[in-house]
Structure 1
Amino acid sequence: MKKSISLLMFLFALMFSNLNANEMFQTVEPKDATLVKTDSSKEFCNVCGMHLTKYYKTNHVTEFKNGHKEQYCSIHCQAEIYRDYKNKIKTIQVVDTNSLKLIDATKAFYVVGSSKEGTMSPISKYAFLSKDEAIKFQKEFGGTIHNFEETMNIALKDLPNDNKILDEKRVPMAKKGKKIFESMCDISKMKDFNSIGEAKQYLIDNNVCKNLDSQMLQAVSIYLYNPSAASEKSKMLNVPQDAKCPVCGMFVSKYPKWAAQIKTKDGHNHYFDGVKDMMKFYFEPSKYGHNHTKDELNDITVTDYYSLESINGKDAYFVIGSNVYGPMGEELIPFKNESQAKKFMEDHFGKKVLKFEELKKEMLF
Structure 2
Amino acid sequence: MKKNLSLLMFLFALMFTNLNAGEMYQTVEAKDATLVKTNSSKEFCDVCGMPLTKFYKTNHVTEFKNGHKEQYCSLHCQAEIHEDYHDKIKNIQVVDTNSLKLIDATKAFYVVGSSKPGTMSPVSKYAFSTKEAAIKFQKDFGGEIHSFEESLKIAKEGLNKDNKSLEEKRIPIAKKGKKIFESLCNQIELKEFNSIGEAKQYLIDNNVCKNLDSQMLQSVSIYLYDPMLAVDKSKMIKVPEDAKCPVCGMFVSKFPKWVAQIQLKDGHNHYFDGVKDMMKFYFNPSKYEHTHTKDDISQINATDYYTLELIDAKKAYYVIGSNIYGPMGEELIPFKNKDEAQKFMTDHFGKSLVSFDEIKEEMLK
TM-score strictly above 0.5 = yes
Q: Which residue of 2 aligns with 1:273?
A: 272
Q: Please give the secondary structure, in 2, of the residue aligned with 1:22.
A: coil
Aligned to 1:334: 333
Q: How does 1:1-365 map to 2 (within 5 A)?
A: 15-17=15-17, 20-239=20-239, 247=247, 255-262=255-262, 270-274=269-273, 275-285=275-285, 287=287, 288-292=290-294, 300-313=300-313, 314-320=315-321, 324-326=325-327, 329-330=328-329, 332-336=331-335, 337-338=340-341, 339-340=343-344, 343=347, 352=351, 354-356=353-355, 359-365=359-365
Q: Note the C-alpha offset of 1:291.
A: 2.1
Q: Distance in 1 between matches of 2:14 and 2:345?
A: 33
Contact 1:103–1:129, Cα closer than 8 Å, also in 2: yes
Higher deviation after alignment, 309-318 or 75-84: 309-318
Q: Secondary structure at the match of 1:26?
A: coil
1:169-213 Cα shifts (integer Å, max 9, x gaps): 110101111111111111221111000011111111111111111
Query: Do the aligned residues in 2 keep the contact of 1:282 with 1:297 (CA within 8 Å)?
Result: no
Whole-Å separation in 1 of the counterparts to 2:19 and 2:204: 26
| Matches of 1:22 and 1:119, distance apart in 2 | 16
Measured in 2, the distance between the counterparts of 1:249 and 1:66 equals: 38
Q: Secondary structure at the match of 1:204?
A: helix
Aligned-CA RMSD value:
2.9
Question: How far 1:257 moved relative to its partner?
Answer: 2.8
Q: Which amino acid aligns with 2:270?
A: Y
Contact 1:260 1:301 in 2 (8 A): yes
Q: 1:184 to 1:20 in 2, by over 3 A?
A: closer
In structure 1, C-alpha distance between the alignment counterparts of 2:219 and 2:116, rounded to whole Å: 26
Distance 1:21 1:67, change over 3 A: same
Distance change (3 Å), C-alpha of 1:14 and 1:123: farther
**1:292 alignment partner AA:** K
* Distance 1:92-1:340 versus aligned 2 partners, 3 A rule: farther
Bigger mean CA offset, 307-316 vs 65-74: 307-316
Following the alignment from structure 1 to structure 2, what is the Cα–Cα distance between the partners of residues 178 and 122? 27
The whole-number CA distance in structure 2 between the counterparts of 1:14 and 1:273 is 41
Unpaired stretches in structure 1, ≥5 consecutive residues: 1-12
On the 8 A contact 1:286/1:292 being kept in 2, the answer is: no
Identity %: 66
Q: Distance in 1 between matches of 2:83 and 2:301?
A: 38
Partner SS for 2:136:
helix
State the 1:272 CA deviation: 2.2
Encode CA deviations 1:209-261: one digit per residue, 9 max, x unaligned.
11111111111110110011110023212456787756567775565333213
Structure 1 residue 102 displacement after superposition: 0.6
Contact in 2 for aligned 1:306/1:335 (Cα 8 Å):
no
* Offset, 1:25: 0.3
Using the TM superposition, give the Cα deviation of residue 123 of structure 1 relative to its aligned residue in structure 2, in angstroms: 0.4
Name the CA shift for 1:342/1:151 in 2 (closer, same or farther; >3 Å): farther
Looking at structure 1, the residues matched to 138 and 231 of structure 2 have their Cα atoms a distance apart, in angstroms, of 43
Q: Tell me by how many angstroms 1:331 deviates.
A: 5.5
Tell me the CA shift for residue 165 of structure 1.
Answer: 0.8
Structure 2 distance, partners of 1:260, 1:291, is 18
Gap change, CA 1:59 and 1:325, over 3 Å in 2: same
TM-score scaled by structure 1? 0.84
Name the count of aligned residue pairs: 343
Partner of 1:7: none
Contact 2:345 2:353 in 1 (8 A): no
Q: Shift in Å at residue 304 of structure 1?
A: 3.0
Listed one character per residue, the Cα deviations across residues 26-45 of structure 1 (whole Å, up to 9, x for unaligned) are: 00011100111122101100
Structure 2, unaligned runs of 5 or more: 1-12
Q: Distance in 1 between matches of 2:157 and 2:257?
A: 27
Task: Quote how far apart the aligned CAs of 1:316 are.
Answer: 2.9
CA distance in 2, matches of 1:192, 1:83: 21
1:322 positional shift = 6.2
TM-score w.r.t. the length of structure 2 is 0.84
